[in-house]
Amino acid sequence: MNTSTTYSSQIKSVFTQKLKDYEQLVKLRLNLTVVFSAVIGFGMGATIENWYFTILLAIGGFLVTASANTINQLLEIEYDKQMKRTANRPLATGRMSITEAVLIAGLHGVAGLLILWLVFNPLTALLGAISLISYAFIYTPLKRISPISVFIGAIPGALPLAIGWVAATGKLGFVAYTLFAIQFLWQFPHFWAIGWLGYDDYKKAGFKLLPVKFDGRNVNTAIQIILYTVAMVLVGCIPYLIGLSGVVYLISNLVLGAFFVYRGFQLYLNCNNEYALKVMYASLLYLPITQILMYIDKI
């Protein structure tokens, strides 16, 4: 192998690693689910399909979420080092400098909010800013103080649908609040299942993500998972009741919601990681399918 080939291979290797580090820094998969919800909300509010604005909303939402996720990791470098699931993150390992991450957070956040403001409207940008600030600067430090952090974290987690609606309509209203409420309630069983599964790892970093003091992996947490899931399903009927979406969506909400509740009941009976994992999978099944069908079945 000649020198130029070796040099080219090294450049390619460095570039590939940078891409992987960026993917971890912005939490790409989580980011894309946020963008997906915002696009669905935009589609629900738009009177006609417009791919140009849909793409710009996706870009703006991606940048704002990337900024929030980067700040989250900047604030948790020392805690990420302590947990197996996060120890290989670029900041925790030192593969990426703090200066580089700060620049990414700043540039992404400013660019994303400007897109939401200039392309759509100030209210969309305001909701984007609330999402960024509440996730990065309130939820993140609160995780080590109190389980109420999940409640705070559910706010930015639930805003994407409403942000998409506001980007399309320019205003808040009952529909925006309903879309927000569905995803807000969904956050609790979803993240409590994750908190249950990762309890030992989270405990090392002092994170308090389950709703019950001490261990939290017990019937009390399972009961709360069931209650929030039932509430989510009931609120999820509102889009049908107000004529926003049709019967196909309603059936999907009830069927997938019932399955979600069933998994929560299994967790209540067994209280182990196997059924916590099934609750998490049920949550991941419920949200995208009901959102897609809400949009497809839009009235």
The pLDDT tens digits for 138-147 are 999 998 888 8
In a domain, 2, yes or no: no
111 by Cβ neighbours in 10 Å (0-12 / 13-18 / 19+) ranks as middle
Q: How far is CA 134 from CA 23, 47, 54, 148, 293, in A?
A: 22, 31, 25, 13, 29
Residues 6+ apart with CB under 8 A from 229: 185, 189, 257, 260, 261, 264
Rounded Cα distance between 123 and 146, Å, is 31
Q: Judge if 156 and 23 occupy the same domain.
A: yes
Rounded Cα distance between 210 and 135, Å, is 18
Could you say which of 140, 171, 202 is where a domain stops?
A: 171
Query: What are residue 143's phi and psi, to 5 degrees?
Result: -60, -30
- Measured in residues, the chain has a length of 299
Its domain, for residue 109, covers 13-171
Rounded Cα distance between 34 and 271, Å, is 30
Residue 299 clears pLDDT 80, i.e. is over it: no
In a domain, 290, yes or no: yes
Axis crossing angle, helix 174-197 with helix 273-296, rounded to the nearest 10? 160
Residue 275, pLDDT score: 96
Query: What are residue 4's phi and psi, to 5 degrees?
Result: -65, -40
Residue 174 clears pLDDT 60, i.e. is over it: yes
For the chain, give the longest Cα–Cα distance. 70
In a domain, 213, yes or no: yes
Residue 213, pLDDT score: 67
Residue 6, pLDDT score: 67
The pLDDT tens digits for 265-281 are 999 999 999 999 999 99
What would the two tokens of residue 199 be?
Answer: 């309890």
Residue 144 DSSP code: T
Give the Cβ contact number of residue 231 at 10 Å.
Answer: 17
Q: Judge if 193 and 165 occupy the same domain.
A: no
Residue 240 clears pLDDT 90, i.e. is over it: yes
The pLDDT tens digits for 24-52 are 999 999 999 999 999 999 999 998 888 99
Residues forming a β-bridge with 245 = 298
Could you say which of 142, 171, 200 is where a domain stops?
A: 171
Could you say which of 171, 197, 217 is where a domain stops?
A: 171
In a domain, 6, yes or no: no
In a domain, 133, yes or no: yes
In a domain, 8, yes or no: no
Using the structure block, give the residue that is written with the tokens 């870009």.
59
Q: Judge if 89 and 212 occupy the same domain.
A: no
Rounded Cα distance between 11 and 27, Å, is 24
Q: pLDDT band for position 181 (50/70/90)?
A: very high
CA-CA-CA-CA dihedral for 123, 124, 128, 130, to nearest 10: 20
Mean pLDDT taken over the chain: 92
Using the structure block, give the residue that is written with the tokens 């909303």.
57
